[in-house]
């Protein structure tokens, strides 16, 4: 809790708010880019799954001209927090470009923070002096901004990607951010139904860390166990949301522990012990070792998530499928959403539609990519 205390106006994070949601994802395996219109339409169809208290999008491939730079997209509560953050970013990064993120006035979106983005590279000297690799360095800088600068929140920090979120219905958020003007090869989206009214833009989803983004529907009952485990490795769960914890879990497993994605899935949505009998001996040993080792990272309770990265996406349900998740394919496109109708709205005749089993991942990788 003490990390939250430093941050006066951080509404999300002072309390834990359960919420229900809608999620959707569209991915082109060949990396061909398309505008944000489809994902907005898909979310608009699931309007009733949200309650206007949070919506957002993550888009990959949208900044080709700045592909080598971290796109730091920020919310500032007031001008002062922007000044402080810019000082911080200038000290730790080389800023190539800084600009206001273009928005338009939309009736469904109320007054919000100052929204800004910086294309920047970590300061080479500082990275070297820190003894960290570039990714870890960037991650720590992001966490410091969120924890230490009052009124500042990093919405996303990855390369050639961005998160666009606000308090409002997702379709209004999409219009507000003019997402039809962006071209990306992977779009994920989220509409939120929180049980409380935090009214804070940073609390909307997707939640991101470096290139990772997560949209999530559910309320995990393992949150306390997951969080306390993550905290041992420097993760600060300032928002107290499941999505934040899930993002960190994947970052820890995939990046820090170098666990292959297929195995990370077996950790967070572990097969039941009763299913082990059907596996061969090596596989049994593997599953047992993974579960014994990473038992605190099992995600329990209802969830459906879409994990996005520059190399593709992975959608996953909890192991007893307590939340809806449907997938579809059409040519090079892979679709996932909370409801089949949300896919058919934008792709009326998919080649294949299916409902993945609990714990069975839907993985879409970019052509040529070996891992997410």
Q: 214 to each of 58, 102, 251, 306, how far by Cα in Å?
A: 8, 23, 11, 6
Shortest Cβ 191–another protein spacing (Å): 16
- Please identify, using beta-carbon distances, which residue of 16 and 330 lies nearer to another protein: 16
Catalytic residue, chosen from 21, 141, 237, 347, is: 21
Given candidates 68, 87, 262, 367, which one binds another protein under the rule CB under 8 A? 262
Shortest Cβ 148–another protein spacing (Å): 21
**Which segment (97-105, 140-148, 151-159, 290-298) binds another protein by CB under 8 A?**
290-298
**Which segment (70-78, 113-121, 128-136, 281-289) binds another protein by CB under 8 A?**
281-289
347 an active-site residue? Answer: no
Residues 148-207 that bind another protein (CB under 8 A): 195
Shortest Cβ 319–another protein spacing (Å): 8
Contact 328, 343 (CB under 8 A): yes
**Helices (H), ranges, the chain:** 2-5, 37-45, 79-92, 124-130, 134-148, 170-176, 223-230, 242-250, 261-268, 281-293, 340-344
Q: At CA 331, angle to CA 312 and CA 32, rounded to 5?
A: 50
Question: In the structure encoding, which two tokens stand for residue 371, read together?
Answer: 């891992």
- Please identify, using beta-carbon distances, which residue of 113 and 218 lies nearer to another protein: 218
Given candidates 64, 102, 110, 260, which one binds another protein under the rule CB under 8 A? 260
Q: 160 to each of 62, 66, 85, 93, how far by Cα in Å?
A: 6, 7, 21, 17
Given candidates 78, 129, 228, 357, which one binds another protein under the rule CB under 8 A? 228
Q: Determine, following the binding rule CB under 8 A, whether residue 67 of this chain makes contact with another protein.
A: no
- Please identify, using beta-carbon distances, which residue of 265 and 328 lies nearer to another protein: 265
Q: List b or e across 240-270, with b for residues whose CB sees 16 or more CB atoms inside 10 angstroms.
A: bbbbbbbbbbbbbbbbeeebebebbbbbbbb
- Please identify, using beta-carbon distances, which residue of 35 and 296 lies nearer to another protein: 296
CA 10 to chain centroid: 19
Residue with tokens 């993974």: 290
Q: Determine, following the binding rule CB under 8 A, whether residue 282 of this chain makes contact with another protein.
A: yes
Q: Determine, following the binding rule CB under 8 A, whether residue 35 of this chain makes contact with another protein.
A: no
Shortest Cβ 36–another protein spacing (Å): 30
Decide the pairing of beta strands 55-60 and 212-218: unpaired
- Please identify, using beta-carbon distances, which residue of 208 and 222 lies nearer to another protein: 222
Q: Determine, following the binding rule CB under 8 A, whether residue 270 of this chain makes contact with another protein.
A: yes
List of residues 6+ apart from 165 with CB closer than 8 A: 54, 55, 56, 57, 155, 173, 190, 201, 204, 205, 206
15 secondary structure, DSSP code: B
Catalytically active residues are: 21
* Residues of the shown chain interacting with another protein in the complex, contacts defined by CB under 8 A: 16, 18-20, 195, 218-226, 228-229, 231-233, 257-260, 262-263, 270, 272-274, 282, 285-286, 288-293, 295-296, 298-302, 319-320, 322
């Amino acid at each position: 809790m003490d990390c939250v205390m430093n941050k006066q106006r951080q509404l999300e994070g002072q309390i834990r708010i359960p919420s229900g949601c809608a999620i959707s994802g569209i991915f082109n395996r060949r990396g061909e880019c398309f505008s944000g219109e489809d994902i907005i339409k898909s979310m608009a169809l699931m309007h009733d799954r949200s309650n206007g208290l949070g919506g957002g999008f993550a888009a990959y491939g949208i900044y080709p001209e700045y592909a080598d730079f971290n796109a730091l997209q920020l919310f500032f509560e007031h001008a002062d927090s922007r000044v402080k953050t810019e000082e911080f970013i200038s000290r730790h990064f080389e800023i190539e470009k800084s600009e206001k993120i273009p928005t338009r006035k939309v009736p469904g979106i109320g007054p919000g923070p100052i929204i800004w983005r910086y294309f920047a590279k970590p300061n080479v000297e500082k990275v070297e002096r820190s003894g960290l690799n570039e990714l870890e360095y960037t991650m720590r800088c992001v966490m410091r901004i969120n924890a230490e600068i009052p009124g500042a929140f990093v919405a996303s920090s990855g390369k050639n990607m961005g998160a666009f979120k606000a308090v409002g219905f997702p379709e209004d958020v999409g219009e507000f951010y003019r997402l039809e003007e962006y071209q990306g090869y992977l779009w994920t989206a989220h509409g939120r139904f929180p049980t409380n009214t935090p009214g804070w833009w940073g609390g909307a989803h997707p939640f991101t860390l470096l290139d990772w983004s997560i949209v999530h529907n559910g309320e995990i009952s393992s949150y306390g166990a997951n969080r306390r485990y993550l905290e041992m490795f420097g993760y600060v769960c300032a928002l107290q949301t499941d999505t934040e914890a899930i993002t960190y879990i994947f970052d820890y497993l995939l990046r820090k522990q170098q666990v292959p994605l297929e195995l990370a899935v077996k950790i967070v949505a572990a097969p039941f012990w009763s299913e082990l009998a059907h596996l061969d001996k090596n596989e049994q040993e593997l599953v047992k070792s993974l579960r014994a080792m990473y038992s605190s990272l099992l995600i329990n309770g209802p969830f459906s998530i879409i994990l996005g990265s520059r190399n593709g996406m992975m959608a996953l349900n909890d192991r007893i499928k307590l939340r809806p998740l449907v997938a579809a394919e059409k040519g090079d496109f892979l679709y996932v959403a909370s409801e089949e109708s949300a896919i058919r709205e934008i792709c009326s005749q998919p080649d294949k539609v299916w409902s993945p089993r609990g714990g069975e991942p839907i993985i879409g990788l970019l052509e040529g990519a070996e891992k997410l």
